[in-house]
Chain A
Amino acid sequence: MKANMFIEWLKSREGIYYLLLALLLVVVFPLALDSFRLNMVGKYLTYAFAALGLVLCWGRSGILSLGQGIFFGLGGYCMAMFLKLEASSPENTAIQSTPGIPDFMDWNQLTALPWFWEPFHSFSFTLIAVLAVPALLAFIIAVAMFKRRVGGVYFAIITQAIAAILTILIIGQQGFTGGVNGITDLRTLMGWDIRTDEAKTLLYFVCVGMLFVCLIVGAWVMRSKLGRILLAMRDQEDRVRFSGYDVASFKIFVFCLAAMFAGIGGAMFTLQVGFMSPSFVGIVPSIEMVILCAVGGRNSLLGAIYGALIVNAAKTFFSESFPELWLYGLGVLFIAVVLAFPDGLAGLYRRYVMPLESKLPAMLRRGNAEAQTLPVEEAK
């Protein structure tokens, strides 16, 4: 029964889009790109996690968070702390005055591992922390804000301020966090060298796999009753409230979910890039995550992924070829997306490509007039 539904879904138009994306990420990219470029695609995809969360929270529920970098960073830092502890074994750090602690702590004259680093010796704890730490912070912020019905612009500005606070804090407490340099020189995961090309390729596939898990969770949220309530909340919050729904709880849930997605993205980033630094926590990366989502189409989960791929690829291309032009390009992109294509790539697709798609079978049918057996599904 379930399996049947799944197959039905796969045959639907939406299912085909998902399959196409899977084909692109799992087959086309690994075959077409060398390990260096594939690793870069993997890096782009980590931002797509944050963009997915933003689709749920901004596009679907109208909560614009300018602080997804916070959660991306927290997830990334949790993973980096685990990897750093593994890299700082007493043998590797024998030249330090206190062997066994990360090098930057030693430089800052710390003589013992701070208490909050201790649990990160455990991989299972780390995996939980990657999800739980961002979710917990998101929960605290969301409860404080949404219970008091703070929303819209104010929420955006406050999340932005929190991103600023966290950045200053990480930079200022360099004995505990590595400061501006971040946590660098990560080598192995449970003894497995993550710096080799093979490891990077494997991590790419893990990243794609995680992305699809998040994508499916997101799609489920969008299609469920919950998703419809979120939509109703975005458009007429008071009416939903008057219908007896606890609006704040729904908002808290979706914001926490988005934070978890971003956290997973951050952890995958650390694994693939090999370090984490405060420059991914702050205001600028947070806003860039919003633009990825806006370019893809703020209401479309798949759009967010394509948005992340295209914007980041463009960034790499322009910054390699015409460094001066990149900021102009990015600026124009922001303005164009807002003014001309508020629904992003997904909107353009729906408007221009979809009509062609439904014509396609019709054209085929006209082509083989004799066959005349193909039932054509009505385009919606």
Chain B
Amino acid sequence: MKLSKTQTSTRRSSWTRRHLLGGLMALPALFALSSNALASEVNTTGLAVTDDTVKVGILHSITGTMAISETGSVQAEKLAIEQINASGGVLGRQIEYIQEDGASDWPTFAEKSRKLLVNDKVAAVFGCWTSASRKAVLPVFEQYNGMLYYPTFYEGLEQSPNVIYTGQEATQQILASIDWLKEEKGAKTFYLLGSDYIWPRTSNKIARKHIDKLGLKVVGEEYYPLGHTQFNSVINKIKLKKPDVIFASVVGGSNVAFYKQMKAAGVDLTKEKPLLMTISVTEDEILGIGGENVEGAYASMKYFQSLTNSNNEAFVKAFKERWGDDIVIGDVTQAAYLGPWLWKAAVEKAGSFDIEKVQAASPGIELTTAPEGYVRIHENHHLWSKARIGQAQTDGQYKVIYETEELMEPDPFPEGYQ
């Protein structure tokens, strides 16, 4: 009885040679010498590391309601692992991944993470998407001392030695976008709208506080249950309050209904007022919503598929070659892609797969080859990254119209929220 899918990624198609340029990392050359170290030396805690392989886990929902969102992350993580293998692996070891299905069910996530850590003894896990699934697995990772690379932008208020958060925490998405709205667009009034769970609520609290601080005004705040499809009431409220900005964190399928109904009700996002700033709609979501329905909306993310830098061009090309031409890449997909690379860098810096050593080595790890540009791991295990604002086009892509000059410091416990 085969209970899980173990698979070595030995796919070495043309892109690997063309784009890896002997390894995208700055570090491997340095550590190529140490890559012949014995398994017993680089692994003192009984992880699944042999002289030429190392096992990691991928834990996302393949089935259930979250499968839609998590597919991109799985693809990105597999791509990164395959690229790493093609460029010589980690400490000279090929990565084998064990993929488990969280089935959009939080206890299943906890159960599978326990299986990955206890039975399979994986050296790292790339996975989880929703906050609920992360909250469910967190105690397991802390108890069995595993390493989780979590890709989604999320609400913050958390910091664990066992997790590297490769997405943004809430302030990194929100602060810059509100500053920009104030300065560039002269926005004065905001309407906060979100799905009813912790991420939108926390995000809107951070937004509200910042809006107050800037002397601007929140004229409405509203939450709808996940999966809600009737937004006429809130659209009416928006029309009545006439805010300068609709600040939206509606997630999942609700988005489609929301933007369609906005458009049908005559709210034209391409006009100057009201503007719509979303922190939840990536290129992935636009596929479902339809480009013509979100045209003109602004999004605050750290990554857009349309970014023009050589890292991103190579990444998009590799991604499309691996997973098909019509695929789009959103913010979270890119963050998921960083996971395996950051882990590789930390392992090679530590010279060991041991969890403690990887944890100790992680802060300060830099990635110059990230599609989003340069990123660095902060002491608090989140990433320093830039905030960017894009405007949605009819073709479903964002046009990047602003990016912060400096990297933004991650601040998972902003003042007054802890």
Contacts and interface: CB of A to CB of B under 8 A. Distances in A.
**Do A and B touch directly, given a CB cutoff of 8 Å in the complex?**
yes
Interface of A: 34, 36, 40, 43, 95-97, 103-104, 106-109, 168, 171-172, 174, 179-182, 184-187, 195, 273-275, 277, 279, 317, 319-321, 323-324, 326-327
Contact of B110 (A107, A174, A274): A274
B86 to A, nearest CB: 27
Contacts of B155: 107
A43 B111 CA distance: 10
B100 A320 contact: yes
Contacts of A279: 105-106
Nearest to A95: B418
B327 to A, nearest CB: 20
Interface stretch (B193-201, B210-218, B338-346): B193-201
10 contacts: A36-B114, A36-B119, A95-B413, A107-B417, A171-B196, A180-B131, A181-B198, A184-B135, A277-B132, A317-B3
B139 A184 contact: yes
Interface in B133-161: 135-136, 138-139, 143, 155, 157
A168 B225 contact: yes
B198 A97 contact: no
B63 interface: yes
Interface string B102-120: 0101111011001100110
A108 B63 contact: no
Nearest to B112: A320
Contact of A184 (B136, B201, B413): B136
A195 B143 contact: yes
B8 interface: no
B106 A179 contact: no
B101 interface: yes
A181 B132 contact: yes
A36 B118 contact: yes
Q: Chain B, interface size: which category?
A: 35 or more
B145 to A, nearest CB: 13
B233 interface: no
A375 B226 CA distance: 66
Contact of A171 (B2, B115, B225): B225
B267 interface: no
A320 B111 CA distance: 12
B14 interface: no
Contacts of B63: 319, 323-324, 326-327
A106 B201 contact: no
Contact of B136 (A95, A109, A168, A275): A275
Contacts of B103: 319, 323
A108 B201 contact: yes
B104 to A, nearest CB: 9
B242 interface: no
Given A107-B198, A171-B197, A179-B198, A275 B110 contact: yes
Contacts of B100: 320
A180 B132 contact: yes
A180 B197 contact: yes
A327 B64 CA distance: 10
A323 B101 contact: yes
A44 to B, nearest CB: 11
Given A174-B201, A323-B63, 18 more contacts: A106-B418, A171-B197, A179-B196, A179-B197, A181-B136, A181-B198, A182-B132, A182-B136, A185-B138, A186-B139, A274-B110, A275-B107, A319-B101, A320-B101, A321-B5, A323-B101, A323-B103, A326-B63
B133 to A, nearest CB: 9
B9 interface: no
A103 B155 CA distance: 13
Contacts of A195: 139, 143
